[in-house]
Amino acid sequence: MSPREALKIYFCYDDFRPLQSEIVESVLTGRDTLALMPTGGGKSICFQVPTLVMAQDNPNKRLCLVITPLIALMRDQVANLEARNIHAAAVYTGMSWDKQRVALDNCLYGPYHFLYCSPERLESEEFRKRLADLPIGLIAVDEAHCISQWGYDFRPSYLKIAEVRALLPDVPVLALTATATPETIEDIQDKLGFRAHNVLRKSFHRENLNYIVRRTDNKPEQLVHILSRVSGSAIVYVRNRKRAQELAEFLHTDYYHAGLTTKERNERQEAWTRGDTRVIVATNAFGMGIDKPDVRLVIHYDLPSHLESYYQEAGRAGRDGETAYAVLLFDPQQDPAKIRKRIVDTYPPKEFVESVYHKTMDFLQIGAGSGLGHRFALHIDQLCHVMKLPVLQTYSALHILTQAGYIDFEEEHETQPRVQILVPRHQLGDYNLSREQEELLDVLMRSYSGIYTDLQYVREADEVGNHQSPITNHQLLVSLAQRGLITYIPRSIGCSLTMTNERQTEIYLSPAIFEQRQARFISKIQSMLEYAEQNQFCREQLLLAYFGETDAVACGHCDVCRSLAADAVR
């Protein structure tokens, strides 16, 4: 079966989009490949098609391991593949080990072609051992810029991919990203252990997307004006949760941020995707992996810290090829000072970082030489209150300590509900249980084999009790816990800290960890400011040059191009 036949049979497309065919052919020849494609360029086809072709030729290479940090994307792609009668599974944080084992068994013994996993799963030694037995023919790394310490969204868990490659030495890797500077491109290939550098890229030029900067000292008024002038679906990006809620209330619409429950996030994203909600006000937690081509307008109310995130977020507009707008609101009097303050907030002094390390260890009661491998729930507000630390800089210090390898700090880590049944099954008849309580206990006993011996992660509440509502299930679990029949730990959202080293009496932050990254962050801040402040050069030309496309021509339709054209006419 040829790649085009697979594309037609499984996905009902007659031909590939630009660059997809070249990427597929590179993968099928067994070459490590880095593919740079703008948002909406069709990255998933680039690993799905070659996997299905390889599966026809060699059943022992029928499985693609897809590594992505986006759980919502995993679920969507698994559902979409299953709808096409292509078997796929996903393994991610919060799943019980029993369910992970079933998914891995299906991939080993069943007709499965795709296994999606979060990078954090690669840190499990048991999970890595299972991978070595699977018929993996390709490793696909989504959001590959996360592996680069020079990228804007570095995630230490991505570095574990190199260990997986060592377990599967003959398996090629396809790295995919929509945003990478020339320096990041080199770093991705080095960190993933490319046998030979091989980069395929599609121009980041977007003919239909109009980049605009609006100078204003009254952003709310300008926001309302723009939304009234441009019809259709819109995203308004802001820097923090408080502003998201306040601005959504001002606009009488929905907001989205990482502090919402999974259920709330899903409901709000789905309402916006369906068109029930026209405008959504969101932090950068929103948008990764969304499949909505008809977004007409993306507005940045606050300046992002770097052009990588700005380009990616702005690129969510107009993926259907129709005219769309990416508007940046810029206050020349206040925004430069605000964005420069992020330098101190993001890279506080070394002495402060060291102080946060020791105060956090004391707060968690971890003694010198101990703690290795232990995971702790970490309430940042409580830590900062007790230890008298500033919140923003403390977050940044914990991320720096993660990059330095002392800890693994996860922001907004969501823990699933956990349940253990304390009463033997044959004794449950001694209790006067309601029908609903009996049904719920029966579901738990049938679904989780180790629930009598230890706390087990259970699925979201609306899935536990068959047709029960989430509120009813939660209340039932609480009532059973109050009667001593079960131990119940409800779902929670918070931060977590895992000790990747035992507690040190002294820590060392090397220049590579601190000064060099700080200098690069300052450079990124400056590039973002220059983009917003200047009014002499085409906005798209500046963006493309930042990503290494130095031969681009002026777009002709950004605010600068239009202004220059109007001046020429005069």
pLDDT digit string (tens) for 124-133? Answer: 788 888 898 9
> Which has the higher per-residue pLDDT, 139 or 514?
139
Residue 340 is predicted with a pLDDT of 94
Residue 4 pLDDT > 60 = yes
Range 347-375 average pLDDT: 93
Q: Coil, strand or helix: which one is 31?
A: coil
CA–CA distance from 241 to each of 160, 258, 307, 358 (Å)?
31, 8, 21, 29
Mean pLDDT for 437-451 is 85
Mean pLDDT of the chain: 88
Write out the two tokens for 135. Answer: 């018929």
Residue 398: pLDDT band with limits 50, 70, 90: very high
- Residue 362's pLDDT is 96
- pLDDT for the residue 150: 67
Q: Which of 342, 78, 305, 67 is nearest to 188 (CA)?
A: 67
Q: What is the largest CA-CA distance in the chain?
A: 91
Size of the chain, expressed as the number of residues it contains: 570
pLDDT above 70 as % of the chain: 93
Residue with tokens 């703690």: 371
pLDDT, position 492? 65
A 10 A CB-CB count for 41 gives 20
For 273-292, the pLDDT digits (tens) are: 999 999 999 998 887 667 78
- CA–CA separation, 66 vs 117, rounded Å? 6
Among 6-10, 363-367, 407-411, 522-526, name the one with the lowest average pLDDT: 407-411
More confident residue, 414 or 343: 343
In this prediction, residue 342 carries a pLDDT of 93
Report pLDDT digits (tens) over 58-108.
988 999 999 998 776 788 889 889 999 999 999 876 666 778 889 999 999
Confidence of residue 469 (pLDDT cuts 50, 70, 90): very low
Decide: residue 85, CB within 10 A, 0-12 exposed, 13-18 middle, 19+ buried: exposed
- What average pLDDT does range 481-488 have in this prediction? 89
Report domain extents, the chain.
3-201, 209-338+520-569, 348-415+494-513, 418-490
Q: What does the pLDDT read at residue 425?
A: 87
Do the beta carbons of residue 39 and residue 316 sit within 8 Å?
yes
**Which residue type, as a one-letter code, is found at position 71?**
I
User: Which residues are 234's β-sheet partners?
Assistant: 279, 297
Mean pLDDT (whole number) for 6-10: 93
pLDDT at 472 over 60: no
> Can you give the C-alpha Rg of the chain in angstroms?
25
Most confident of 28-42, 386-400, 445-459, 460-474: 386-400
- Whether this model's pTM surpasses 0.85: no
Domain 209-338+520-569 has CATH 3.40.50.300: yes
Residue in the block written with tokens 């007659």: 14
Percentage helix, strand, coil, to 5, in the chain? 45, 15, 35
pLDDT (0 to 100) of residue 461: 45
CATH class of 348-415+494-513: mainly alpha
Q: What are phi and psi of 553, to 5 degrees?
A: -95, 165
Q: Which CATH class is domain 3-201?
A: alpha beta
Higher pLDDT, 110 or 474: 110
Q: What is the mean pLDDT of residues 205-209?
A: 92
Distance of alpha carbon 77 from alpha carbon 288, whole angstroms: 13
User: Fold match between 3-201 and 348-415+494-513?
Assistant: no
